[in-house]
Structure 1
Amino acid sequence: MLNSLRTVADGLIRLSAAIGTLALLAEVGVILVDVIGRAFGHPLFGSQDLITMIMVMLVFGGMALCDRSGGHIAVDLFQKSFPPLLNRVIDVLSALLGAVIFAFIAWAIWESAKLSVMLNLSTNLLRLPKVWFQWGLCGFAVLTALGLMLRALELTISGRDVRTEWNNT
Structure 2
Amino acid sequence: MIRLRIMVDRLIGLSNLLGSAALALVTIVILIDVIGRYFGAPLRGAQDIGQMGMVLIVFGGMAWCGRQGGHIAIDIFENAFPERVNHAIDIGVAFLGAFLFAAIAWKVIQSAQLSLMLNLATNIIQLPKAWFQWALAGFSILTALTMLLRGIELILGGSGRAERKEAML
Same fold (TM over 0.5): yes
What's the counterpart of residue 94 of structure 2? 95
Contact 2:12 2:63 in 1 (8 A): yes
The one-letter code matched in structure 1 to 2:53 is I
The normalised TM-score by structure 1 is 0.92
- Measured against aligned partners, the alpha-carbon deviations of 1:22-78 in whole angstroms (never above 9, x if no partner) come to 010001001000000000000000111111001100000011111222322212222
Q: In structure 2, what is the Cα distance between the partners aligned to 1:11 and 1:162? A: 24
The one-letter code matched in structure 2 to 1:23 is A
Q: In structure 2, what is the Cα distance between the partners aligned to 1:112 and 1:54? A: 18
Q: Compared with structure 1, are the counterparts of its residues 163 and 49 closer, same or farther at alpha carbon in structure 2 (3 Å cutoff)?
A: farther
Q: In structure 1, what is the Cα distance between the partners aligned to 2:20 and 2:127? A: 21
- Structure 1 residue runs of 4+, over 6 Å off? none
Contact 1:16 1:62 in 2 (8 A): yes
Q: In structure 1, what is the Cα distance between the partners aligned to 2:21 and 2:99? A: 28
Aligned residue for 2:79, secondary structure, equals coil
Q: In structure 2, what is the Cα distance between the partners aligned to 1:104 and 1:111? A: 11
What's the counterpart of residue 13 of structure 2? 14
Contact 1:46 1:125 in 2 (8 A): yes
> Does 120-129 or 66-75 show the bigger shift?
66-75
Aligned-residue sequence identity (percent) comes to 52
Q: Runs of 5+ in structure 2 lacking a partner?
A: none
